[in-house]
Chain A
């Protein structure tokens, strides 16, 4: 395409891809820029994680035609059991309590990336520039010029940074970042097992951090295992047999025989958030805006909520004839998202701090707290509905409606 794009989206992952499809469906001219060649992200070695998709983000993926690409490989979560280490006190979330067929779905990131990639290629109105090395973004009062290594400059009315934790767009805009390391590492792997998991997700809070067992299709679970970084290094260095022993010790025996399938992955855990997520000609979404502890499985959900709110803000402004890159337009997006994302950051950070220790007093108090939350119906429903992405002033895409 020649001329000026309505929007240039940096990052063609889940969040950038969802925004691109939503905007192009509404008729905008969209450019997606990714540093990796198409297909790279879907390669088996690129991303071994799985994601929990809450009910509302699932409706967004459905509306954007992405869900149909992963539906066959998505495992419903019908129950969530939260336990404090080996303590008998636990919190139980059941789908019947919210009257939904599932609390959410587990999807392997690889499948989700493939489905997003397919929609990016088949949706009219999207130009894909990948691989491309972005070297600079210059904004003025009517647009932004993006410059590249070995490619001509491109102009857009608005630049969206959906380029992850180390966002280039965020840095180019000079937006500050608040960062806190947890000194914890997340070990991720997929485990095949003997007995059925009955679509139940388990989260055990051990002193070193949470240990999650998340149901996947075909008798497999995804393990997210948090350890202090030094210990994680030792565990990751173990051979297959001893590694499995360490794993089984934490997982328990309810799944029968276990076998680690595919590689192990590890991610240092950190909480970070951008000083602002909107400025003249620029908006941030997903991990570029905020990245959190994976304790509540909310990172991707929050990113898709960003995508829904940003796409709606842009499309509504454009349908009024407004300049989609104007500061006033994007300020609406920031106001919309700030409360929700900061609440979630605070919740997950607080949960992790509360549970990642073994001080007797704290332990007793939090067990009592868990039991209390369990009994207090409205409070529990509130937590569940938030985890399912149903709270707040919902963007249309999260309700499953068209933009």
Chain B
């Protein structure tokens, strides 16, 4: 497949894609530009693993519970979630609008000895191929999407009936403006300034509406809480800043 930038960037926000492309080499630096994603990775993975294990009737204490599951990771970046899916036994495809990120992801997976199908591609392009997946990861992507309507419509076509999708994003509340954007970008310097546009943040009610329209039922909603003492994140009831949604395709 040609490794060029996707010709028609419809759903992806051009500026965001370019910004991520410039940081492609940093994805796996645990203390680098994407440190916050490394920090929230365990709790995101807990939600994903437990959700998929429950939904598909798998054993969460086994080492490869996702054996024989086809999983698509949308906006995979350097593969921070794609690689764990492969380790858990899934056949994984990772797509991202930034080809630079995809190359970095591919090189890293090779060194880590993991087999992952990475492609520089938008979800609507993948949907156009007619391929469907048992499960789709849609993590911290929505807030970088230019056309949410078209984006979720594509997601709806990518998940097979009875399949599942996990969506994680930032809520549009004053708290998320203060913490998610201002604190994370300017005070704590977790992510480069300008990473997020608060106006692109999505409220859980808006996300649920998009999902229902695209053919999903919302099965679970959880927030993420940060413990400044340990630096760890945990699943919580407070959805004011980050939240995760588990959706099942009708």
Contact = CB atoms under 8 A, between A and B. Distances in A.
Interface of A: 3-4, 26-28, 140-142, 317-323, 326-328, 332, 335
Interface stretch (B40-48, B151-159, B183-191): B40-48
Contacts of A26: 63
B39 A320 contact: no
B45 A321 contact: yes
A321 B49 contact: yes
Nearest to B113: A4
Contacts of B63: 26-28, 318-319
B230 A322 contact: no
Most buried by B among A26, A140, A323, A332: A323
A3 B31 CA distance: 29
B39 A321 contact: no
B42 A322 contact: yes
A27 B64 CA distance: 10
Interface string B82-121: 0111111000000000000000000010011100000000
8 contacts: A4-B113, A141-B28, A319-B62, A320-B45, A321-B45, A321-B83, A321-B87, A323-B112
Contacts of B46: 320
A27 B49 contact: no
A96 to B, nearest CB: 37
B112 A142 contact: yes
Contacts of B49: 319-321
Contacts of A28: 63
10 A-B pairs with the lowest CB-CB distances in the bound complex, closest first: A321-B84, A320-B45, A321-B87, A321-B88, A142-B111, A27-B63, A142-B112, A328-B30, A327-B30, A328-B38
Given A141-B111, A142-B112, A321 B85 contact: yes
A319 B61 CA distance: 6
A319 B83 contact: no
B78 to A, nearest CB: 12
A4 to B, nearest CB: 6
B202 interface: no
A319 B87 CA distance: 9
A328 B44 CA distance: 15
Contacts of A332: 232
A335 B61 CA distance: 24
B150 interface: no
Interface string B57-81: 0001111000000000000000000
A320 to B, nearest CB: 4
Nearest to A403: B61
Contacts of A327: 30-31
Nearest to A6: B63
